[in-house]
Structure 1
Amino acid sequence: MDDLSALVLNCTLKKSPAESSSELLASQVLQALERHGVTGTVERVVDHDVRFGVSVDEGDGDAWPTLRRAMLDAEILVVVTPIWLGQPSAVCKMVLERLDAELSETDDQGRMLTYGKVAGIGVVGNEDGAHHVTAELCQALNDVGFSLPASASTYWVGEAMHKEDYKDKQPTPEETAGTTRTMAAHLAHLARLLRDAQYPAAE
């Protein structure tokens, strides 16, 4: 069963080694995927010199091509983001902008290179907004060719106007742990189905 790989992009604003609730959730997602024969890595995007832009390579030392190669080599992509002002982080939005380039990257049958790959979403924050952020990412990831299974997201949000962080919750709330397990199982299941039955080329 050790036949799938995943890339988890942590879109925290904090560079390593700063503690990050998004990093905790990202690592938990990867651990859950490992139970289904998926190997992979968590990459904190701000630790890489990713440039703003909408091409596959912005040049001048842009680190996105390396992350993009890891994404294309994997069957599963998970994007994890904190909520800021009810929105995905600026880092997450930059990642989505870079993924926009996939719209024009196709194989010899005219299919986007992301076809047949699946995506999941993780969200953490101290305010309501998880459904809004998830909706934005679902639409964007689907637009650029990824397939999303049922229950393709997991999240935790704290009580409004309080300062409690997900990383400080011990043990992890079972509601979040349960949705993480479900998402991981569905991601692995759909990835295997699509690997063995790729989307047809458009007629």
Structure 2
Amino acid sequence: MRALVVNCTLKRSPDPSNTEALAGVVVERLEKEGVEVEVVRAVDLDIAPGVVSEAVTAGDDWPGVHEKLLRSEILIIASPTWLGRPSSVAQRVLERMDAMLSETDDVGRPVAYNRVAGVVVTGNEDGAHHVISEISGALADIGYTVPGQAWTYWHLGPGPGPDYLDEERGREWAHRTGRAMAGNLFGVARALQERPLGPPSR
């Protein structure tokens, strides 16, 4: 089984990413279950604006990300909170994933069917539940199955404050929730492998 983590931080590599650090807790648990995990930092790529899976401009890196999505049974979108909302990078990723709404497999199922998705959020302001709701709702629209409690977050809101990598408060809860998230994602992904959803009724 494969999992893809799309880290939607605004920080380019090799700058440390709080969001990627918390996502690492989920990755570690998935790997213990034997899942092969790949992490992509979207801001390092040239992802052009658009709502198609094909390249929009010369050098558009989205088609490669799209291929990784189709190879993965588990997807995790990881985003910081800015102004109480998902990052602009996360929004760009979801806009490009919009094309998957019209893509089907060889038996007529939307390509996101029988794949599961979850969300990781960090930030030094409140708004985590709003970010989780926005991203989870978009992923469900696209066709992903979003299990119960398929998220974790670390926030110290309200107001500005230290970052996840600089603060121990709240980590134990975020890590425990992240491990539960990983277990739920893996369990539902395995169940869908054993009893996959068929094409939608027309």
TM bracket (short chain): over 0.9
1:161 deviates by 2.4
Is the 2:126–2:159 contact (alpha carbons within 8 Å) kept by the matching residues of 1? no
- Structure 1 stretches of 4+ with a deviation exceeding 6 A read none
CA contact (8 A) 1:82 1:125 kept: yes
Correspondent of 1:107 among 102, 105, 108: 105
Q: Distance in 2 between matches of 1:132 and 1:44?
A: 22
1:83-162 matches, within 5 Å, as 83-162=81-160
Work out whether residues 2 and 37 of structure 2, in 8 Å CA contact, stay in contact via their aligned partners in 1.
Answer: yes
* Unmatched tracts of structure 1, length 5 or more: none
Q: Deviations over 1:54-76 (max 9, x none)?
A: 00022411101111111110110
CA apart distance, 1:53: 0.5
**Residue of 26, 33, 36 corresponding to 1:29:** 26
Cα separation, 2, equivalents of 1:36 and 1:180: 14
Structure 1 residue aligned with 2:16, among 19, 28, 31? 19
Equivalent-residue separation in structure 2 for 1:129 and 1:202 (angstroms): 34
Query: Is the counterpart of residue 48 in structure 1 residue 45 in structure 2?
Result: yes
Aligned AA (2:125): E
CA displacement 1:14-45 (0-9 Å, x = unmatched) = 10001111121122221121122211111100
Q: CA deviation at 1:178?
A: 0.5
Query: Which ranges in structure 2 are unaligned for 5 or more consecutive residues?
Result: none
TM-score (norm 2): 0.95
Report the CA distance between 1:108 and its aligned residue. Answer: 3.3
Q: Deviations over 1:72-109 (max 9, x none)?
A: 10110000000000000000000110110001111233
Instruction: Tell me the secondary structure at the aligned position of residue 30 of structure 1.
Output: helix
1:7 to 1, 4, 29: 4
- Quick check: 1:122–1:153 contact (8 Å CA) kept in 2? yes
- Asked if 2 retains the 8 angstrom alpha-carbon contact of 1:130 and 1:157, the reply is yes
Counterpart secondary structure, 1:195: helix
Which string of whole-angstrom CA distances, capped at 9 and with x for unpartnered residues, describes residues 88-142 of structure 1?
0000000110110001111233211110000010000111101111111111000
Match of 1:173 among 166, 171, 174: 171
Question: What RMSD, in angstroms, separates the aligned Cα atoms of the two structures?
Answer: 1.3
Kindly, what percent of the aligned residue pairs are identical? 46
SS at match of 2:93: helix
